[in-house]
Structure 1
Amino acid sequence: MANDHSADIVVVGTGVVGCLIAQQAVDAGLSVLMLEAGPRVDRWRIVENFRNLPPSLRLFHWNAPYPPKPWAPHLETRTASEQEQYLQLEGPNARAYLQGYVRYAGGATWHWAGICWRLTPEDMRLRSLYGVGRDWPFGHEIIEPYYTRAEYAIGVSGPSDPMLQWPTNGKRSKPYPMGPIPFGPGEHRFTEAAAKLGMINLPAPQARNSGVSYDGRPACCGNNNCFPVCPIAAKYDAATALPKIEAKGGKILANAVVYRIETDEKNSIQAVHFFDPDKRSHRVTGRLFVIACNGIETPKLLLLSKDERNPNGVANSSDQVGRNMMDQPKLTAELELQEPLWTGVGPVQSSSILNTTQGDFRGRHAGAMFRMENFARSPLGAAAALKKGLVGKALDAEIRRLSACTARLTVEHEILPSANNRLTLSSQKDWLGINKPNIHYDVGDYVRRSAEEYTVPRLRRLAAELGATKFQLSPEFLNSDHIMGGCIMGTEPATVVVDTDCRAHDHPNLFLPGGGAMPSATASNSTLTMTALALKAADAIVNQLKHG
């Protein structure tokens, strides 16, 4: 039985990766203790926080309803001064790594879009096929069953027609657990415009219930509020899994900031140490440890845990911890259109163009995913109309026009792993005296060539096909909040951090699952791949503890 000080498995982090592993472990009869740096909070409180925000914070500041605790800072502090910022950023494209995760029980799935794309076989063989990046240490046939298990574990809705799935007409071991969520009128228009340019807009698989309840969650009712929070929990978030873990005997400690991993004489992990909100230190022992914070907090913790056996930090004999930090560098285009588009019907994202991610061009420049954002434009329309100084009927008419006749197009680029895109420990310290993470980030010429030669011209053509009268491109690459790298996977311990089960090469009882282990980023959302890796790791963890 787990208690506050010991368990068979100690899981650091309560996001989707940690929760899936904890659920499988308790089902196997193992005791589990989960440690979360931030608070545990009820859904209604997040909804009320959002409702009470001033308009300036409601627009695209998805962390604002999640105020950070002093002991668990996160990116809500992006509005703070440079010295007060939690995430320290530098490099040619520093702005493109301003990630939007929250340190709350449930993690970033509180305010994710719920999109669940799979990798293609080609995505996993960049080096072999195109001479760039890294290959995965196993093929698509190995990860496919875990994709299917992940889709059933979190409840994914998607199309039954193989030609509307991704990979198109790929081999699936099971259909999606639920059918697709219908397109709104704006997505129908976007699909038609894209088709004229040879771009195929596919219905996105979503961890969101389509017309039925699933796993105790209700059907989506089209709130169009998926971020910053689904008010009814129709979309999966890890916070909904925590009571189920507790009901089966798992123990969850919130406001427990792990700051050190302790090794023993054999270099196995013996304990983790955490601070409580009163800055008191506690020690937790276990048989096996899972660090499932995210692709930033996990390598930060490993680097903090230097000792005489591990002078570069835990799991870092290869000097690869914190290297190869990846996201999908994003550009956006704000449009004004001749005719109404009517976004805002259904979820905030429901489709994407992915045939633009594949091709031999990947030897020269990045592939990219295109989509139209489906959020309601009325708050933006109102803000823009007010800036014009309008009043009365003129103000009302302009709000209506801008709400209907504006749109945002987004393109997310595949980035290559680079050892120079690196997380290190900043000399700046947080409220607890723990070093803040510092990240150097450069999207590289691979991405810049793609934007110049491939994606921005296509964005302009898409906008013209939609009847755009105005086109405003973001002036720099932005973050997509898909944190990858930092603990990449492979079979050669000298060049990577974890093996094919996300077990640290340096420590037999330490697992580092999730996006941090991904050897390549691709151009599509990473969460389903993270969950697939979590389930693969869970099999190895249970087997290791139950069968030796």
Structure 2
Amino acid sequence: MTDTSHSPVVIVGTGVVGVVIAEQLLDAGIPVLMLEAGPRVSRAEIVENYRNLPLAAKGNPIECYPSRAWAPHPEPAGAGKGYLQLSGADSYAQSYVRYAGGSTWHWAGTCWRLTPADMQLHSRYGVGRDWAFSYDTLEPYYSRAEYLLGICGPDDPALQWPPQRSRPYPMPALPFGPGEARFTEVVRDKLGLHNIPTAQARNSGTSYDDRPACCGNNNCVPVCPIGAKYDGATALSRLEAKGATILDNAVVWRIETNSRNHIEAVHYYDPQRQSHRVSGKLFIIACNGLETPKLLLMSADARNPHGIANRSDQVGRNMMDHPQITMTVTLEEPYWAGVGPVVNSGIMETSQGDFRSRHAGAYFRFNNFARNRFVTFGALQKGLVGKALDEEIRRMTACTADIVLAHEILPDANNRLTLSDQKDWLGLPKPAIHYDVGDYVRRSLREYSMPIANQISEAMGAIGKTFSKQFNQSKHIMGGTIMGRDPASSVVDEACRAHDHRNLFLPGGGAMASTACGNSTLTMVALALKASDAIVKQAQEA
């Protein structure tokens, strides 16, 4: 019988970061025990859940992942109602699932890299923080990450973002659908902007890593029905074949330290509210950018009265995302969004420039989600029936589109996760998050991204447009365990090792010192691979 009370390496979380690190350790011959708060389910179960949802619920990416009482999902709600207790000028309303495989179940698959300038905001523009190392240091790990996940992207260096790279993508880019192709022509010819193919963890035209080629279901969010898109769950059986032990429905609630202030064990609850202890030599906490700082704060003890890894008082601070505004345009010309993946291209050049000393950069994205579900409700609200309803749905499906304005944000210690007085089903504190995107982002919207969006709508020939009334979050959770060289102002070092505990690693989005404008997952995986090198070395020495 497998011993689940001890392992040389204990990993909390089975999302993409935990899975990537586990595989590097297993390949080096190091045993691994993984603990997952939520259940382990099949793709078929998720797809069936989605099919059976009412139409109005299909727009929420986590509706087909039923929450478990012991591992609740966050819901956008006011204090005292949902899992997240939200305050501040802007809502940090996030969507993620606590399931084996993590939130890559319902991600779009987008895999932008940071640029060299993105990692040097303070030295170049006098704002934010610099990373603890340069792009050149991270680039080999980006390349490894692209081959590990299976990234498709353009062969032409002029279309690659950024162009500084050591290897081509493992697969060619997917073709644009008609809406993206027309959008690309319009912004190029009328505005001189370049809408380039997205690097994405999706198989293009061939199988890769035992996953089939994308067949254009346009259902990447909330689940790829055939598994052409990478998700952490696809690796779990492979990890077990290599010797990993994976416990699901195991909610880690305490990190235990010893007299030397090393991590000695973690404690988890099962669904019967029984607590269990797992000891080890090395510990990796990879349960996402909200759950990780929450766990560190919950684990405060006599040696660490403000929480584990928190002598700097930075755990839970500097919470970041990509604040976004959506512009919905109505067009005379049919664009027909919805052919191919839901995100397949973007305008990234607008994220770079000396203006970043004053305001945020922005990335513009043609949302390639099929429009029929969105427009059906509007047509019904008009009271249309029969043939008129059918014609209106067809017209608006073809002739509407969403353009997303996604902004970078600066780390701010006041954007903070703390422990709420409200408790969950297990009696554990819910996370409370205070959040304000700040003047850096608001100034960008007012002076930069909104004017560009208006130019784009005019170039597209829009006959109507609306903007979302507030900043929405992109579900890219960053910053709560921020990286830096100075232990007084950061939580982890260059290897994502906690400054305060030599045998504790906190890899992933929480370590990111800047957000840039593109999605964070590829950078998280690159950081996981970089951390893995240090973890393997330390485990072998031990």
TM-score category, normalised to shorter length:
over 0.9
Q: Is the Cα contact below 8 Å between 2:410 and 2:514 reproduced in 1?
A: yes
Give the Cα–Cα distance (whole angstroms) in 1 for the partners of residues 486 and 404 of structure 2: 37
Match in the other structure for 1:52: 52
Q: CA deviation at 1:431?
A: 0.3
Match in the other structure for 2:73: 74
Match in the other structure for 2:332: 338
Match in the other structure for 1:87: 84
Secondary structure of 1:209's aligned partner? coil
Q: Is the Cα contact below 8 Å between 1:2 and 1:250 reproduced in 2?
A: no
Match in the other structure for 1:177: 170
Give the Cα–Cα distance (whole angstroms) in 2 for the partners of residues 90 and 192 of structure 1: 42
Q: CA deviation at 1:380?
A: 1.6
Match in the other structure for 2:373: 379
CA displacement 1:312-356 (0-9 Å, x = unmatched)? 000000100001000010000111111110111100000011100
Q: Is the Cα contact below 8 Å between 1:159 and 1:205 reproduced in 2?
A: yes
Which of residues 119, 125, 130 in structure 2 aligns to 1:124?
A: 119
Tell me, which stretches of 5 or more residues in structure 2 are unaligned?
none
Q: Is the Cα contact below 8 Å between 1:3 and 1:251 reproduced in 2?
A: no
Match in the other structure for 1:102: 97
Which of residues 509, 519, 523 in structure 2 aligns to 1:515?
A: 509
CA displacement 1:282-311 (0-9 Å, x = unmatched)? 000111000001110000000000101000
For the pair 1:471 / 2:465, whether they are aligned, the reply is yes
Q: CA deviation at 1:383?
A: 1.9
CA displacement 1:427-483 (0-9 Å, x = unmatched)? 001000000000100000000000000011111111111111111100000010110
Give the Cα–Cα distance (whole angstroms) in 2 for the partners of residues 324 and 84 of structure 1: 25
Report the residue type matching 2:43 in the other structure: R
Q: Is the Cα contact below 8 Å between 1:3 and 1:33 reproduced in 2?
A: no
Report the residue type matching 1:165 in the other structure: Q
CA displacement 1:99-140 (0-9 Å, x = unmatched)? 111101111100000000011000000000000000001011
Match in the other structure for 1:12: 12
Q: Is the Cα contact below 8 Å between 1:2 and 1:32 reproduced in 2?
A: no
Give the Cα–Cα distance (whole angstroms) in 2 for the partners of residues 446 and 122 of structure 1: 17
Secondary structure of 1:312's aligned partner? coil
Match in the other structure for 2:416: 422
Give the Cα–Cα distance (whole angstroms) in 2 for the partners of residues 390 and 111 of structure 1: 33
Give the Cα–Cα distance (whole angstroms) in 1 for the partners of residues 442 and 96 of structure 2: 26
CA displacement 1:483-513 (0-9 Å, x = unmatched)? 0001011111111000000000000000000
Q: Is the Cα contact below 8 Å between 2:15 and 2:102 reproduced in 1?
A: yes
Supply the RMSD in Å over aligned alpha carbons: 1.0
Match in the other structure for 2:225: 231
Give the Cα–Cα distance (whole angstroms) in 1 for the partners of residues 49 and 327 of structure 2: 29
Give the Cα–Cα distance (whole angstroms) in 1 for the partners of residues 2 and 320 of structure 2: 35
Q: Is the Cα contact below 8 Å between 1:126 and 1:133 reproduced in 2?
A: yes
Give the Cα–Cα distance (whole angstroms) in 2 for the partners of residues 128 and 298 of structure 1: 29
Match in the other structure for 1:438: 432
Match in the other structure for 1:304: 298
- Count of matched residue positions in the alignment of Structure 1 and Structure 2: 541
Tell me, which stretches of 5 or more residues in structure 1 are unaligned?
none
Q: CA deviation at 1:269?
A: 0.2
CA displacement 1:168-190 (0-9 Å, x = unmatched)? x32x2211110100000100111
Q: Is the Cα contact below 8 Å between 1:2 and 1:8 reproduced in 2?
A: no
Secondary structure of 2:24's aligned partner? helix
Secondary structure of 2:289's aligned partner? coil
Q: CA deviation at 1:81?
A: 6.8
Match in the other structure for 2:204: 210
Secondary structure of 1:49's aligned partner? helix
Q: CA deviation at 1:165?
A: 0.0
For the pair 1:62 / 2:79, whether they are aligned, the reply is no
Which of residues 351, 365, 372 in structure 1 aligns to 2:359?
A: 365
Give the Cα–Cα distance (whole angstroms) in 1 for the partners of residues 281 and 317 of structure 2: 28
**Map of 1:103-502 to 2, 5 A cutoff?**
103-167=98-162, 169-170=163-164, 172-195=165-188, 196-502=190-496
Give the Cα–Cα distance (whole angstroms) in 1 for the partners of residues 3 and 322 of structure 2: 40
Secondary structure of 1:296's aligned partner? helix
Q: Is the Cα contact below 8 Å between 2:371 and 2:400 reproduced in 1?
A: yes
Match in the other structure for 1:41: 41
Q: CA deviation at 1:381?
A: 2.2
Secondary structure of 1:437's aligned partner? strand
Secondary structure of 1:295's aligned partner? helix
Runs of 4+ with >4 A deviation: none
Q: Is the Cα contact below 8 Å between 2:78 and 2:86 reproduced in 1?
A: no
Give the Cα–Cα distance (whole angstroms) in 1 for the partners of residues 490 and 387 of structure 2: 63
Q: Is the Cα contact below 8 Å between 1:296 and 1:486 reproduced in 2?
A: yes
For the pair 1:540 / 2:511, whether they are aligned, the reply is no
Give the Cα–Cα distance (whole angstroms) in 1 for the partners of residues 422 and 174 of structure 2: 46
